[in-house]
A and B are shown apart, each in its own frame.
Chain A
Amino acid sequence: MTFTKTLALTALTVAALANINAAQARDQIRIVGSSTVYPFATAVAETFGKTTEFKTPVIESTGSGGGLKLFCAGEGDNTPDITNSSRAIKKSEVDRCAKNGVKNITEVKIGYDGIVFANSRKAKPMTITRKQLFLALAKDVPAGEGKLVANPNKTWKDVDPSLPDLKIEVLGPPPTSGTRDAFAELALEGGCKKFDWLKAMKKQDKNKYKAICHSIREDGGYVEAGENDVLIIRKLEANPKAFGIFGYSFLDQNGDKIQGNLIDGQEPTFENISSGAYPVSRSLYFYVKNAHVGKIAGIAEFIQEFTSNKAWGEEGYLADKGLIPMPMAERNKFSEEAKTQTNNIQM
């Protein structure tokens, strides 16, 4: 008895499975990409789903690199329509897209994100420069003209006598993270450039320059704390001697527990990041597959929602979530280009 019943059930399941292949046309936008853009894209998707007749888009948080890999895998129903990115698309990724037949991509810049260097409110705030950050966190630091030594600095005081006598302990994201790439590029390289001979090297040997300026120490001064920024904040709370690196939106939401430190004399505030005064900020983007617009229902409308002033404007709901809006003129330019899909990536 049981056996025949279970046999029938198996047959049914297999039949159901076979059916799916046939009925697969997609009526829902699929988005992948950066975990930094994820909180903003999801907010737009939810509003879009609740105020239009379209289904709410599905958004996967895969990281910028992972998103572009999926995005560039080809065109068609089983590839994503949009990918979010916390950095501009790389040449190698454009090539990959072209190779797989994705020839038309529109780039839309959505705003800025500041990367903060924060610690617990229980501790004293620290004023630091990018040069000091580089000396504290780089793998190798310059010792005189043209010479490098493995980073000997154990405490902040070793870096600069004006800094406190505390062990260097910085919690930050792992190498797979776009936040870490951006921090290395904006903060560390920014400090690295202050050494003239290193700056001169940029022109002669760009790869070596990058290797020096972007490498983060691995001897315990920098602790990889995973992609989870909430976890970093909890650890900072428990250990007031440590510092953490994460996106501005997490500082915005947890201002009672942590404080952002001044970098090059600038406080990480909404105003400073949007005016560009705060040195460690980056642009956020999303990329649209032009061939899918019109084929998958709702893409054009979704872009319109994302680029409307009630979403990405100064008073929009994305600003409430911690996105730093672009100035009006830039917003108009990108929203116009997004609508007409004219800002294509050169293949």
Chain B
Amino acid sequence: MTDTIDTSLSIPKNTSEIVHQGLKKRYAAEKRFRRYGVVAVCVALLGLVVLFSSILTKGYTAFYQTNIQLDITFDESVIDPKGTRKTKDLSSADYAALLKKAMRTQFPEVKTRRDKKKLYNLVSSTAVFALRAKTMADPSIIGQTHSLWLTASDDVDMLIKGHIPRELPENERRISNKEISWVDQLIEAGSLEKQFNRQFFSAGDSREPEAAGIKGAIIGSFYTLLVTLLLTFPTSVAAAIYLEEFAPKNRWTAMIEVNINNLAAVPSIVFGLLGLAIFLNVMHLPRSAPIVGGLVLALMTLPTIIIASRAALKSVPPSIRAAALGLGATRMQTVFHHVLPLAMPGIMTGTIIGMAQALGETAPLLMIGMVAFIVDVPGGPTDPSTVLPVQIFLWADAPERAFVERTSAAILVLLGFLVSMNALAIFLRKKFERHW
């Protein structure tokens, strides 16, 4: 050490020598910094990959569902003994009997009551509703025999997908050796298959995992976001334009600005409490409805979009305004004919990111009753409904094993929506962005 200091002190040097001496060190520092950067990016990517792959490996199986093929005889003496074909009679008929009979024909050797009950449980308890719906849609089916694919119960589904290991001792798994032997017989006969899980996208929530779907939640999310968008977009753009282009710069506007920035950082649950106090208790809007969810989320995203819109307006060069004013346009004409169109890509990006944030929100919806079990797919913004993240939250808490993969699958769908929204934001920015 002392040596190097000595030499550096002893040699007289000019500026270029000094620069040369330090150069190696400076290059090394830059290299080091770049390496840190690469490491940081790698760590972030690794986290993302681990997260995605764990969700993907857990969730992809939910897109397939085990189905069992059975020859169902739509026996008139069971469904409609009086032969009336009235909706009321068809609606209350014992469709479970059809299913039981088909199972008994398939497995004639099963005799005891206990075994029969187990046998019937191979098929989902919701298969009965499917038979009912089929008959009600087309009563002419009565009297005919059809070979139908029916949803298997969640235990069979979990066995086929390997989530219930066969090698476990019998008393430790939810499915007995006998049931497994029946399942194997069905597989051999070619009447048990994994098929695309259409119900997952076409049904609402259900207590039976094999029948649960996310359509209700997706439609609920759609209505909620629609209300949010209709409310926030005009309000926040108007607020941003006024504050940026028209408002005098005084103590009041400064205070408003501080408050807007503050609101953007308020935890979302606070907006939920506000929604409960105002929209439900004072205005008496319906509980669990997307319209209230939309209002609450609108309050939440308002500051985000205002801030983004103001930044977009600020980035339009003053020369554009000066030119418009110089040609005799009024200030309003300047803003609406020139500044706003140029700022639009930025405003859109901010709005989409705000909407994506609203799409992923659960906490404020807890307070206004949107965290609920809702089977019916909502038909409008005032019908009770949940949203996607809430559905994920509810499924994550359900005891049935089969809900684990469905939870991950719902997360995949939500991530899909978020990724496409963000991609759209980037696309819009790249396409319409102007450089000055």
| Chain A, range 51-65, C-beta contacts under 8 Å to B | 51, 53, 55-56, 58-61
Q: Hey, what's the 0/1 contact readout for A197-232 against B, CB within 8 Å counting as 1?
A: 000000000000000000000000000000111100
Known: A20-B382, A256-B173. A60 touches B168 (CB 8 A): no
How far apart are A223's CB and chain B's nearest CB, in angstroms? 18
A residues 1-50 touching B (CB-CB < 8 Å): 1-3, 6-7, 9-10, 12-13, 16-17, 20-21, 23-24, 26, 28, 30, 35, 38-39, 42-43, 45-46, 49-50
Given A21-B285, A53-B91, A317-B125, check contact A249 B371 (CB 8 Å): no
Q: Closest CB of chain A to B332's CB: distance in Å?
A: 9
Instruction: Find out whether the CB atom of B172 lies under 8 angstroms from the CB atom of A60.
Output: no
Let me know if A10 and B401 touch, CB within 8 A. no
A45 to B285, CA, bound (A): 24
Cβ–Cβ contact A230 & B284, under 8 A:
no
Q: Assess the B284–A24 pair: CB atoms within 8 A.
A: yes
Q: State the CA gap A20–B233 with chains docked (Å).
A: 22
Cα–Cα, bound, A228→B288 (Å) = 22
Contact with B along A219-247 (1 / 0, CB 8 A): 00000000111100000000000000000
Contact A256 B280 (CB under 8 A): no
Return chain B residues, CB-CB under 8 Å to A255: 171-174
In the complex with contacts A38-B373, A56-B374, A13-B287 CB distance below 8 A: no
Please measure, in the bound complex, the distance between the C-alpha atom of A50 and the C-alpha atom of B206, giving whole angstroms: 11
Q: Does B384 contact A (CB under 8 A)?
A: yes
Q: How far is the CB of A38 from chain B (nearest CB, A)?
A: 7
| Contact flags B233-267 to A (C-beta < 8 A → 1, else 0) | 11101100000000000000000000000000000
Q: Which residues of B contact A24 (CB under 8 A)?
A: 284, 286
Complex interface: chain A residues within 8 A of B283 (CB) = 21
Whether A322 lies near B373 (C-beta < 8 A) is no
Give Cα A256–Cα B155 distance, bound, in whole angstroms: 12
Which chain B residues lie closer than 8 Å to A157 at the CB level?
A: none
Q: In the complex, what residues of A have CB within 8 A of residue B235's CB? A: 10
B56 adjacent to chain A (CB < 8 Å): no
**Is A330 interfacial (CB-CB < 8 Å)?**
no
A271 within 8 A of B: no
A95 within 8 A of B: no
- B117 cross-chain contacts in A, Cβ below 8 A: 315
B142 lies within 8 A of chain A by Cβ: no
The verdict on B89 contacting chain A, using a C-beta distance below 8 Å, is: no
Q: Is the CB of B207 within 8 A of A121?
A: no
Chain B min CB distance to A246 (Å)? 9
Distance between B115 CB and nearest chain A CB, rounded to angstroms: 14
Within the complex, what minimum Cβ distance (angstroms) separates A109 from chain B? Answer: 21
Residue from A9, A45, A78, A229 within 8 A of B375 (CB atoms): A45
Q: Inside 8 A of B376's CB, which chain A residues have their CB? A: 49, 55-56
What residues on A are CB-neighbors of B397 within 8 Å? 35, 227-230
Name the one of B284, B384, B394 contacting A21, with C-beta atoms under 8 angstroms: B284
In the complex, the answer to whether A9 meets B174 with C-beta atoms within 8 Å is no
B30 interface hit (Cβ, 8 Å): no
Residues of A within 8 A of B102 (CB): none
> How many inter-chain residue pairs (CB < 8 Å) link A and B?
124
CB-based contact B280/A60 at 8 Å = no
Name the contact of A6 in the complex, choosing from B171, B208, B234 (C-beta under 8 A).
B234
- The answer to whether B291 touches A9, judged by C-beta atoms less than 8 angstroms apart, is no
Please measure, in the bound complex, the distance between the C-alpha atom of A250 and the C-alpha atom of B404, giving whole angstroms.
Answer: 13
Cα(A256)–Cα(B340), bound, Å: 62
Instruction: Decide if B230 touches A20 in the complex (CB within 8 Å).
Output: no
Contact of A45 among B234, B340, B373 (CB under 8 A): B373
Those of B179-233 within 8 Å (CB) of chain A: 206-208, 227, 230-231, 233
A162 within 8 A of B: no
Of A17, A51, A58, A78, which one neighbours B372 at CB under 8 angstroms?
Answer: A58
Q: Does the CB pair B284–A249 fall under 8 Å?
A: no
- Chain B interface main SS type: loop
Closest B residue to A80 using CB positions: B287
Interface contact B398-A59, CB-CB below 8 Å: no
Residue on A with the closest CB to B129? Answer: A50
Q: Determine which of B125, B369, B382, B400 lies in contact with A60 in the assembled complex, contact meaning CB atoms within 8 Å.
A: B369
Which residues of chain B are within 8 angstroms of A3 by Cβ–Cβ distance?
A: 238, 336, 340
Q: At the interface, yes or no: A254 with Cβ under 8 Å from chain B?
A: yes
Chain B interface residue count, Cβ-Cβ cutoff 8 angstroms: 56
| A59 near B230: Cβ-Cβ < 8 Å | no
Contact A6 B237, beta carbon cutoff 8 Å: yes
A228→B396 contact, CB < 8 A? yes
**B399 contact set on A, CB distance < 8 A:** 39, 229-230, 249-250, 252-254, 322
- B14 interfacial contact with A, CB 8 Å: no
Cβ 8 A contact of A256, one of B164, B286, B371: B164
Instruction: Report the Cα distance A26→B285, complex, angstroms.
Output: 12
Chain A contacts of B165 at CB under 8 A? 256
- Is the Cβ of B400 less than 8 Å from the Cβ of A51? no
Q: How far is the CB of A292 from chain B (nearest CB, A)?
A: 15
Chain B residues contacting A1 (CB-CB under 8 Å) are 336
Closest to A48 in B: B375
Closest residue of chain A to B401 (Cβ to Cβ) is: A253
- Interface flag for B319 (CB, 8 Å): no
CB distance from A233 to the nearest CB of B (A): 9
Contact pick for B234, options A10, A30, A42, A78, CB 8 Å: A10
> Which residue of the partner chain, among B92, B172, B227, B336, contacts A121 with CB atoms under 8 Å?
B172
Partner of B373, one of A12, A16, A42, A249: A42
Q: Which residues of B contact A49 (CB under 8 A)?
A: 375-376
Contacting A at CB under 8 A, from B63-84, are: none
User: Is A321 among interface residues, defined by CB-CB distance under 8 A?
Assistant: yes
Contact A78:B369 (CB < 8 A) given known A2-B340, A6-B233, A321-B207: no
Distance in angstroms between the alpha carbons of A317 and B375 in the assembled complex = 18
Q: Are A13's CB and B91's CB within 8 A?
A: no
- Residues from chain B with a CB closer than 8 A to the CB of A38 are 373
CB of A230 to closest CB in B, whole Å: 6
CB within 8 Å for A7 and B234 given contacts A78-B286, A256-B164? yes
In the bound complex, CA of A200 to CA of B174 (Å): 46
Q: Are B371 and A253 in contact (CB under 8 A)?
A: no
Bound Cα distance from A157 to B404, whole angstroms: 36
- 0/1 per residue, A126-161, Cβ < 8 Å to B? 000000000000000000000000000000000000
Beyond contacts A16-B291, A230-B404: 7 other A-B pairs, Cβ-Cβ < 8 A, are A2-B336, A20-B291, A23-B382, A30-B287, A51-B132, A228-B396, A229-B399
A-side residues, CB < 8 A to B, are 1-3, 6-7, 9-10, 12-13, 16-17, 20-21, 23-24, 26, 28, 30, 35, 38-39, 42-43, 45-46, 49-51, 53, 55-56, 58-61, 78, 121, 227-230, 249-250, 252-256, 315, 317, 320-322
A-B contact pairs, 10 of them (CB 8 A): A10-B230, A38-B373, A39-B398, A42-B207, A46-B206, A60-B372, A78-B284, A229-B397, A249-B399, A255-B174
